[in-house]
Amino acid sequence: MVPPNRSIVRRLLIAILATGLTLVFTQLPFFSSLELKGLDLLFVLRGAQPAPSQIVIVAIDELSMAEIKRQWPWPRGLHAHLIRQLHQAKAKVIGLDVLFAEPSDVDEDAELEQAMREAGNVVLASALNVVTDPLFRLTSRTEPLPALARVARVGNPIITLEADGVVRRSRLLSDDWATFALQVAGAYLAATGRELLTHHDFYRETVIDYRGPARTIQTVSYYQALDYERLLPPGIFENKIVLVGRSLETMPEAQRLAGDTFFTPFSWMSGSTTAG
């Protein structure tokens, strides 16, 4: 029989060795890839979960392109009309994941600003650009037009693109800059009489709890939202967070992905990407 103290030492050595090997293997590309794919498999095995009922996505999709018959980018007066329609439909928060960084037609810009001012619950997207060099790291932000930023909250959709091109992680704060998601959540809570208290964990990268593949969350087309009283069920936007952004249904090749379209853990089974 092995003495008790020697048995404890042996178990401790085995545990240390196993931990060390795990740390080594997870740093190797092959084993790191296995770990990532294992996480994807867990999502697929779990399956799609019920989507949050307080969120509706308004998709700038192929159907809308065909119905509106205009090339992208669309006139900002059209976005102004959408905001007014969503405000009339009693949307609680309107998140526009569209970057309005450059001036367009003066009247169009003024109309968009006025619509956002009237709604009073719009969140706009900015863009975070990071240049990494062996000698330096440069971070810059591309903001919406000042006139628009003055009448809306602004946040950047910060995500982490893994080595295999899949988005699995994100965070809510970066260098004290609130993300688009955090600004939307803050606006929603403020509209319901609550306050969003930031936490140090918001700076940490966390695994995104995907509810399912693309369009698991209730999604309607942009052109339908423009005429929601005729084309959509009554009350669809009432008291909801409405997120507006590009959403393509087709599955492009990895090297041809648009800047706001990403692979997720469900992409390999569903055959679809997810908009940012």
Task: Give the helix, strand, coil percentages of the chain, each rounded to 5.
Answer: 40, 20, 40
Distance CA 46, CA 88 (A): 39
**Segment 21-29 mean pLDDT:** 50
pLDDT per position as a tens digit, 65-89: 999 999 889 999 999 999 999 999 9
What percent of the chain has pLDDT above 70?
A: 77
CA end-to-end distance (rounded Å), the chain: 61
Averaged pLDDT, 223-231: 98
Q: Higher confidence at residue 254 or residue 133?
A: 133
Tell me the whole-structure pTM to 2 decimals: 0.80
- Those residues with Cβ within 8 angstroms of residue 254's Cβ, 6 or more apart along the chain or in another chain: 165, 263
**In the predicted structure, residue 11 carries a pLDDT above the cut 80:** no
* Structure-model confidence comparison of residues 24 and 230, the more confident one: 230
pLDDT for the residue numbered 71 = 87
Cα distance between residue 237 and residue 61, in whole Å: 19
